Structure 1
Amino acid sequence: MVDLILEMDDEHVETFFEIKIDNIFLENGFFTESGLVENMAQTCSSVVAKDYFIDENYNDKEDVNVVGFISGIKTLKIHALPQIGEVIYTKALLVSKFITESYSLCTMKCQTFRADELLLEGEITLFIQENKS
């Protein structure tokens, strides 16, 4: 649910996503609430999950398989839904993270926009771990 990462560092990410007609989160020509939450989760996960895919020298790691899921939604306000063909921009900021050898937890604040119009705002916690099987 992310077409392009526009900007990213260790605490911040901005993404771009075009709502296409074949998206599974469409209903009556609109991108659903569940779709906005999934876009939020995938945008937010890129900040913490990137450490699984690149090493400390920013070299790609080979054959990495990561699994992640939403472990909690602290706040969520959906103000409007975008339509097919529209582009949304999602911005997320790291609030906290907890990293162990076997998994990572991160909490992030997120906002999604259509141009300058705020569509979604919320705070989400994600669980991410490498699948070593």
Structure 2
Amino acid sequence: METVLLLEKEAVGHLLPQKFPFVMVDKMYSFTETSLVSGLTIENDNLFFENNHFLEAGLIEHMAQSVALHTGYQFFLRNEPAPTGYIGSIKEIEIKKLPQIKDTIQSTVTIIQEFAGITLVNIVTTLNNEEIANGQMKTVLAK
């Protein structure tokens, strides 16, 4: 099955509060009210690229920005400016493998609960259809 790309780097960049060089998502493959699939191709100029690997902190930031992209795209669809959000908590992040240069990772964000600007999500990150990281995050919208 061929992967369909909904949004590419430039469009994704407009939906995130982060700006270069801190952007850790460059693709959006799918979006629903309760889920999103994002992607990132690891380049050697990435802030979190070191010793031929994409670091754990980069994976976690990619996961968080995937959640931010879901929120940003929701607001875009309503013609509203996207709010800034923050990681409220990270629960049980498991990192099994670190990507290398030119690898393209994909993260699937599933909304578990959303209430009063607080969103609880489950995130699974894969590389070539192999799970390399997973966890739960709570994000909070700035007031």
TM-score normalised by structure 1 residue count: 0.83
Quick check: 1:87 aligned with 2:104?
yes
- What is the distance in 2 between the residues matched to 1:87 and 1:50? 21
Q: 1:77 aligns with which of 69, 76, 94?
A: 94
- What is the distance in 1 between the residues matched to 2:55 and 2:126? 14
Q: CA deviation at 1:65?
A: 5.4
Q: 1:16 aligns with which of 16, 36, 39?
A: 39
Q: 1:31 aligns with which of 43, 47, 54?
A: 54
Question: Whose helix fraction is larger, Structure 1's or Structure 2's?
Answer: 2
- What is the distance in 1 between the residues matched to 2:73 and 2:102? 29
Q: Which has the larger radius of gyration?
A: 1
Q: CA deviation at 1:16?
A: 1.5
Identity %: 27
Deviations 1:64-123 (A, max 9, x none): 352111110121100000001111011110010112xxxx11010001011121110100
Q: 1:96 aligns with which of 105, 109, 113?
A: 113
Unmatched runs of 5 consecutive residues or more in structure 1:
none
Question: Whose strand fraction is larger, Structure 1's or Structure 2's?
Answer: 1
Unmatched runs of 5 consecutive residues or more in structure 2:
1-23
- What is the distance in 2 between the residues matched to 1:86 and 1:4? 13
- What is the distance in 2 between the residues matched to 1:75 and 1:128? 22
Call closer, same or farther: CA 1:65–1:13 in 2, change over 3 Å: closer
Residues paired across the two proteins, number = 120
TM-score normalised by structure 2 residue count: 0.78
